[in-house]
Structure 1
C-alpha cells in the first residue's frame, strides 16, 4: 500500500488503538500477524482516509473489522464507514467479538475464501 501523508491525529489514534487491543482483536491478530494465515500480509490499526481500520491486507484490499456490542447500537456509522472504504476500493468484512473468541477457525476460513484462498 503506498504510504500517503497521514494526519498526525490519525497516526496518534492508531498508535493508541494498537496499545489498547481488545481480547478478540489480539486473538485474531495472533492468527494474522507475520503472514501466519497462508502468507497473507496484514497490518493492524491502519489509517485509511479518515478512518482507522482494525486489520488491513493491502495486497487484496481487504479490511477486517472486529466488532463488539457497541457496534450493534451504531450500525448507521459502520455503514457509512464501510461505504467510504468500499469507494476507496477496499472490501470490508466484519466479525463479532464472540465469533472471533469462540470460532477463530471459521473466521480465518472466511477470510481465506474472501481472498481466494480456498477451503483451508
Structure 2
C-alpha cells in the first residue's frame, strides 16, 4: 500500500516550485534537460528536498544564508535522508550563482557516479535521436 503524503507538505512543495530561488532557477535551467530526470521540491516526509534525481537516489540541497546557523538541523536532516537510502549533496546558493555550470556539472557527475558508470555528460532528452517520419 502506498503511504499518503501529508497534504500540507504537498501544498508547501507546490508553493516552493512556483516560487523558486535564483539558485534553483540557475540549476534547473541546466539540469532539467538531462536524463535521468530530476524533480524539484520532492517530498520525502517529513522533509521537502530542493532537487532530486530519483533514479540515482541523489538529493541536492541548495542552502542559503539561513542555513549558517542551522548546522545541527541540517546534519539531522542529512542523516535521516541517508538512512532512507539517499545520497545528499549540499551546495551554497552563492556558489551556485557564481558558477552555475560548474554546480550543474557536479550534480550530473554525482548522479552518474550513483548510477554506477553512466556517461558523465548524458544526452539531453531528445538529442541524438533520429526523427521518425510521420505518416499521414
**Same fold flag (TM > 0.5):** yes
Q: CA deviation at 1:113?
A: 2.4
Between structure 1 and structure 2, the one with the greater Rg is 2
The structure in which a higher percent of residues are helix is: 1
TM-aligned CA distance change 1:90 to 1:51, over 3 Å: same
TM-score (norm 1): 0.87
Large movers: runs of 4+ above 4 Å:
117-120
| 5+ residue gaps, structure 1 | none
**Contact 1:112–1:118 (CA<8 Å) still a contact in 2?**
no
Q: Name the count of aligned residue pairs.
A: 115
Greater RCO (Cα-Cα under 8 Å, separation 6 or more): 2
Aligned residue in 2 for 1:68 = 64
In the alignment, is residue 49 of structure 1 matched against residue 26 of structure 2?
no
Gaps of 5+ in 2: 122-136
Q: CA RMSD in A?
A: 1.5
How many angstroms apart in 1 are the aligned matches of 2:31 and 2:104? 9
C-alpha distance in 2 between matches for 1:108 and 1:25: 11
2:102 alignment counterpart: 106
Pair 1:88 & 2:84 matched: yes
Q: Are the counterparts in 2 of residues 32 and 40 from structure 1 also a CA contact under 8 Å?
A: no
Secondary structure at 2:49's aligned position in 1?
strand
What is the DSSP-based 3-state SS (H/G/I as helix, E as strand, rest coil) of the residue aligned with 1:59? coil
